[in-house]
Structure 1
Amino acid sequence: MKISMSALVLAVPLVLTTLTGCSMNDDTSATGADGTSDSGSDGVRSAGTSTSRDASDAMERVSSGIYDLIGVKGRASDSRPGVQACPGKDRDTHFQIFHQWSFYPASASDLGPAMQHLKEKLPQHGWKIVEYGPDTSRNKNTVMIADNDAKKAGVHITQMEKRNPPKLSLMVVSGCYQVPEGQKVDHF
């Protein structure tokens, strides 16, 4: 079954809300020089200032780091990050980066070990697992959600054993960036 672009457009805000609704936005001790919180009133944590192209490159490096932790042979889908407006912010000056990709193990029997490697290794690399367990689907797919405050990113990983072929589905999402003064977000 192919996923249409409209289905992806509808799913991205839900995943972004889920990811950025975790611990990335509940750190009330993070304050700026003016004493204000790193989180906006919308609850999405600030990721700093960047162009959307530079932030996209950074998000690909985050995804690549996650890929390196999988620890089993296989291949990743060929996808590029995209740009999403930050909730409650001006879409010309604020944005989030999302990178949806899949990992297909060389052997279906390696899917479980791939997820287990991520569960063990993500925390060793600055990630905090905030949710782990079966989802509510008929297949009861295993889901892991993790945040990395240093990278200002979150990841939602779904282990899809009953898919043909079996895969890990990953959605990596940044916090909310602001473009440099005088620039606009490059939406892609």
Structure 2
Amino acid sequence: MKTRLSALVLALPLALTALSGCGMTDNHSDEVPFAGTSTSSDASDAVEKVSSEVYDLIGVKGKASDSRPGVMDCSDKDTKKYFRIFHPWSFYPESASDLDVVMERLKTELPKRGWEIVAYGPDASKNKNINLTADNDKKKASVKIIKMAKDEPPMLSLDVVSGCYKVPDGEEVERF
């Protein structure tokens, strides 16, 4: 539980700041795209499906963390009617050397499945972690993947974030 909680605590700020739009629109602005009308629960299921599709591309043996999506606000929108879904999770390969393989695979395979790589390279941390950010306009989702090779254990940190949903008329956003 402690690992899961600390992963969530680490991942949430990344999801909130780094994936605040990431150009998921045709004009590549910072505006968060409209993802449609949905309940929080159905939107959460859709984001989990996107995470599963990314997981399937990893292609090496390892273990994924068991985390659930959460609900966050859409900037400048009525918080009772509009929301986004974030799903932070981690992947721990059996071998640290597999992290390089996974990052190259994701960099190659995500675009073949409708994702646009909008950022790739080392971050400003002392570890120079490799970051990959990709947007999928069709799915109205963004993913940020960080290769944390010098962590113990070595891992990928993944954050999938949706566009902005509106709840159906007569309903309010369910928070979880």
One-letter amino acid of the structure 1 residue matched with residue 138 of structure 2? A
Which of 70, 89, 95 pairs up with 1:101? Answer: 89
Alignment pair present for 1:8 and 2:3: no
Q: Is the 8 A contact 1:20 1:45 kept in 2?
A: no
- Over aligned residues, Cα RMSD in angstroms? 2.2
1:128 alignment counterpart: 116
Deviation at 1:164, TM superposition (A): 0.7
CA distance in 1, matches of 2:14, 2:157: 15
Alignment of 1:10-49 (within 5 A): 12=12, 15-25=15-25, 27-28=26-27, 43-49=31-37
Q: Is the 8 A contact 1:79 1:100 kept in 2?
A: yes
Alignment of 1:129-144 (within 5 A): 129-144=117-132
Query: Relative contact order (alpha carbons < 8 A, sep ≥ 6): 1 or 2 greater?
Result: 2
Q: Is the 8 A contact 1:76 1:101 kept in 2?
A: yes
CA distance in 2, matches of 1:28, 1:69: 27
% identical equivalent positions: 60
CA distance in 2, matches of 1:90, 1:14: 23
SS of the equivalent of 1:24 reads: coil
1:72 alignment counterpart: 60
Q: Which has the larger radius of gyration?
A: 1
Which of 137, 145, 154 pairs up with 1:149? Answer: 137
One-letter amino acid of the structure 2 residue matched with residue 93 of structure 1? K
One-letter amino acid of the structure 1 residue matched with residue 9 of structure 2? L
TM-score (norm. length: structure 1): 0.85
CA distance in 1, matches of 2:78, 2:9: 22
SS of the equivalent of 1:55 reads: helix
Deviation at 1:96, TM superposition (A): 0.2
1:36 alignment counterpart: none
CA distance in 1, matches of 2:102, 2:31: 32
Bigger mean CA deviation after superposition, 16-25 or 94-103: 16-25
TM-score (norm. length: structure 2): 0.91
Alignment pair present for 1:60 and 2:61: no
